[in-house]
Chain A
Amino acid sequence: MKFLARLLARFVALCAVVTFTGCASLEPSADAVAVRAEQTVATAFNVFDAFLNLEHANRDLVKAKAPQVHTFAEWLREPVPENGAMVPRGLSLIQSANRVRLAYKSNRTPDNHASLQAALSALARAANETQTQLTALQTLTR
């Protein structure tokens, strides 16, 4: 019963959010694919940055109480090769998708569109996992 009540509360919250959240209409000259790609890379950066900053601010607590969250943060921070330099994996994921996005913006071919969708899907998966870890972290630090 308690579970059903919580589920109902979440559903109501979801309906309220959906009802009262509007999306800006696009300018006639804007390409929806390009705009969505810009939103995706920006949102992914925001999620990574929020998670890593909160984890950094509570690093000792996280290591002690939620080592799996710390392990994930270290995975996101791990330096990986990116365009001739070593950068944190999270940034590499964003920069990689960003390059594909810029290639699409300069040459909007079906091939570049397909590459962009694949790059954004990979980035969205990482951002979703980070969002889950961020939620666990927020619960821990609340």
Chain B
Amino acid sequence: MAPIVSLILANLPAIVKSGQTVVEFVRRERTAMTQSGEWTDADERAFADLLVAAGRSPAWQQDK
């Protein structure tokens, strides 16, 4: 079974419950699915930087 199909099936309860997330869910997943090889060192660094930036973002901080 294609990965995207098994991914959708695994998430089907949440997708059906929400009613509008099938396309959004797949659109988000599709970006990741177009990956054809393992991350390079640069990809690893970019992801690590993304996590550091998120940790500093106000959106990730609890209410004062």
What A residues does B37 contact at CB under 8 A? 26-27, 29-30, 35
Selected from B3, B39, B55, B62, the residue in CB contact (under 8 A) with A78 is B62
Selected from A29, A41, A105, A131, the residue in CB contact (under 8 A) with B21 is A131
Interface residues on A, range: 35 or more
Given contacts A10-B19, A23-B4, A43-B29, contact A90 B35 (CB under 8 A): no
What B residues does A18 contact at CB under 8 A? 2, 4-5, 8
What B residues does A138 contact at CB under 8 A? 20
Given contacts A95-B51, A128-B14, contact A6 B19 (CB under 8 A): yes
What A residues does B44 contact at CB under 8 A? 102
Q: Report whether A42 and B47 are in contact in the complex, using a CB–CB cutoff of 8 Å.
A: yes
**Majority SS at the chain B contact face:** helix
Interface residues on B, range: 35 or more
Given contacts A42-B47, A131-B11, contact A21 B38 (CB under 8 A): no
Selected from B29, B38, B57, the residue in CB contact (under 8 A) with A34 is B38
Given contacts A17-B23, A42-B32, A74-B63, contact A10 B16 (CB under 8 A): yes
Bound complex: CA A140 to CA B14 (Å): 17
Chain A 105-133 interface mask (CB, 8 Å, partner B; 1/0)? 10000000000000000001000100110
Bound complex: CA A36 to CA B36 (Å): 10
Q: Report whether B20 and A43 are in contact in the complex, using a CB–CB cutoff of 8 Å.
A: no
Q: Report whether B8 and A135 are in contact in the complex, using a CB–CB cutoff of 8 Å.
A: no
Q: Report whether A14 and B8 are in contact in the complex, using a CB–CB cutoff of 8 Å.
A: yes
Q: Report whether B54 and A45 are in contact in the complex, using a CB–CB cutoff of 8 Å.
A: yes
Bound complex: CA A92 to CA B18 (Å): 27
A14-B22, A42-B47 known; 13 new pairs, CB 8 Å cut-off, are A10-B16, A17-B23, A18-B8, A21-B26, A30-B36, A30-B38, A38-B38, A38-B39, A55-B59, A88-B54, A95-B51, A128-B11, A131-B11
